Amino acid sequence: MISSSGLAPQEDGAGGWAARARTRRAFRRIASLLFFVTVSHAANLSVVPLSWNRSIGLSDLQFGAGTDFRSPVASDVVIAEMEISETGGANWSLRISRDSNAAPWPNGVIVEIKRSGGSGAGVINGGDGYQTLTDSAQELFSGTGDCNNVQILLRLDGVNVHTPPDFYSLQIRYEVLVTP
């Protein structure tokens, strides 16, 4: 005979009492695990990407023909607006990374990201200085509670006259992590 815990009852003179005690202990462990799972919750992250297209040409040269491009090529360009909601007042962090499935950018070209703004009942900390976007997730900023009207800004640097002319696309992953 198999009990609900998957253990065969043992004859201990009390009608399988030892097996029932193990079943109760196993049930308490499962119930404790379920309790921790239900306490944890996720926040909603709504990102509205904004289209941005930049052609680099003669007008971007520092001093005309034979010179290099101005640096940075682009700065403070709003590329997305976001809202972090349903946090339940919890602490959270927003992590970003470059989508590793996207085509690579040329060597030396640096894409940097920062945040601007933010309103609502929550509080935002950090993210107001540019960070280099990499394939590894990194915290851009953190906060507590619900926040909206957060803008993500881009700076593009490291483009020079040796950068191969082409159409380059950028895909960014955003992830909000709630901490209890």
What does the pLDDT look like over 55-107, one tens digit per residue? 888 888 888 888 888 889 889 999 999 999 999 999 999 999 998 788 888 99
First to last CA, the chain: 43
Same domain, 99 and 118: yes
Confidence check: pLDDT of 109 > 70? yes
- State the CATH number of the domain containing residue 80: 2.60.40
Report the C-alpha gap between 70 and 155 in whole angstroms: 13
Same domain, 25 and 50: no
Same domain, 147 and 65: yes
Q: What is the pTM of this model?
A: 0.72
Same domain, 95 and 143: yes
Of the candidates 43, 68, 173, 55, which has an alpha carbon nearest to the alpha carbon of residue 120? Answer: 43
Confidence check: pLDDT of 153 > 60? yes
Find the length of the chain: 180
| 7-38 CB burial, b ≥16 within 10 A, e <16 | eebeeeeeebeebbebbeeeeeeeeeeeeeee
Give the chain's domain count. Answer: 2
H helix or E strand, kind and range, residue 111: strand 110-119
What are the residues facing 112 on neighbouring strands?
A: 132, 155
Full domain range(s) for residue 7: 1-39
What does the mean pLDDT of the chain come to? 80
| 123-135 CB burial, b ≥16 within 10 A, e <16 | ebeebeebbebee
Residue 25: strand, helix, or coil: helix
3-state helix, strand, coil in the chain (%, to 5): 15, 40, 45
